[in-house]
Amino acid sequence: MTTAFSLAEVRWLTDPEAPVVLLDHLTDLPHHEIPMPPAMGSGWVEMMHLAMGMYLARGTHHFTEAMAGHLVPFARISAELPEDTLTIQAARSGRVHLYERRVGSELTFGDENVLFQHSDRLDYEPHLEGSTMVQVTILSIGDALLASLLGEALTGALVAGLGVVGVPSARVLAIPAAITAPLYAALSTGQSGPLRKLYAQSKVLEYLGGLTGFMAGEHRSSAALPPVRRRRAEQLREELERANAADPSLDQLARRYRTSARTLNDDFKEVVGQSIFAFVTRRRLEQAHVLLQETDISLKQLAARLGYTHVNHFSVAFRRVFGYPPGSLRRG
């Protein structure tokens, strides 16, 4: 099986004077500090080669308050690929405006919008919205490996469903958070050594299975939902994303939207990909993730604020979503 790339080059736009990073197909990048002026913020990138030529990368960027409202040029990334390759970029938090030089277009992804690129060469320039944290996970997998894992027919259906049959091509699609969650969890800090790679690979396979299933079935079935009910579910999602106070119960929401609790929850799951409870829980845990990195609030206080009766219950829920315990964000 061919490797994901022979040589990749990263030129930092956060600090044009910083040395260029060259990545080969054998060496992992466990933790590389992003060269950024202190007034801009701080961050790091990591990259892991998986079996059969896949690679997985993640960039975590913390911006200062002074960068709020700014679009921050991050890097220019280029790589020669030995075959047509599917590259997936998803932002667990924050938003990215990516200049895709191969396709000649600007694409924006974040929240539940995921970027899919199909190309024989990478050449792109991401600019990050200067929110408090932007975290992006990247998966790259060659067509031959994808066909080996899924079969030729299912691979063709997946690429067609994503709308990236041509090479080069790129497209942003709305994918439910529940589908993308295993990808976010793949680079876990809860393991080390060979076990960490095995865990990452299992999560990538889980993600590919979920994505393929969604594109083949659930995506089509949601389109069959009556327009009024689909709009209602989308409106509820927007309401829950904006909510800052305690979220209302399912029964309260059902009365407000003048339907049964079961119908509202079923419609929400059809459109969003997860139940109302799972959506609210993940949203709260994502807020907790930011608070753990940006404040000195204790785990016990944070668990109580989120409604958990015991800090261990909070830790289990946090690890289930992110793949690592909340205490790992406080190390060092």
Angle between helices 261-272 and 276-294 (to 10 degrees): 60
Kindly state the helix (H) or strand (E) to which residue 142 belongs, with its residue range: strand 133-142
Structure tokens at 51: 């079996």
List CB contacts of 239: < 8 A, sequence separation 6 or more.
none
What residue spans define the domains of the chain?
7-221, 225-330
Are β-strands 75-93 and 21-24 bridged in parallel, bridged antiparallel, or unpaired?
A: unpaired
- Cα 265 to its chain centre, rounded Å, is 24
Kindly state the helix (H) or strand (E) to which residue 51 belongs, with its residue range: none
Residue 184: predicted pLDDT: 92
C-alpha dist (Å) from residue 42 to 35, 71, 224, 262, 283: 8, 15, 45, 45, 24
CA distance 274 to 13: 37
CATH architecture of 7-221: Sandwich (2.60)
User: Which regions in the chain score pLDDT beneath 70?
Assistant: 1-6, 25-26, 217-224, 243-247, 331-332
Is 225-330 the same fold as 7-221?
A: no
Residue 2: predicted pLDDT: 52
Domain 225-330 has CATH 1.10.10.60: yes
Cβ contact 326:315 at 8 Å: yes
pTM: 0.69
Residue 217: predicted pLDDT: 66
Kindly state the helix (H) or strand (E) to which residue 125 belongs, with its residue range: strand 113-129
Residue 201: predicted pLDDT: 93
Residue 219: predicted pLDDT: 47
Residue 310: predicted pLDDT: 86
Please name the amino acid found at residue 233.
A
CA distance 89 to 92: 10
CA distance 161 to 163: 5
Residue 331: predicted pLDDT: 56
Cβ contact 169:119 at 8 Å: yes
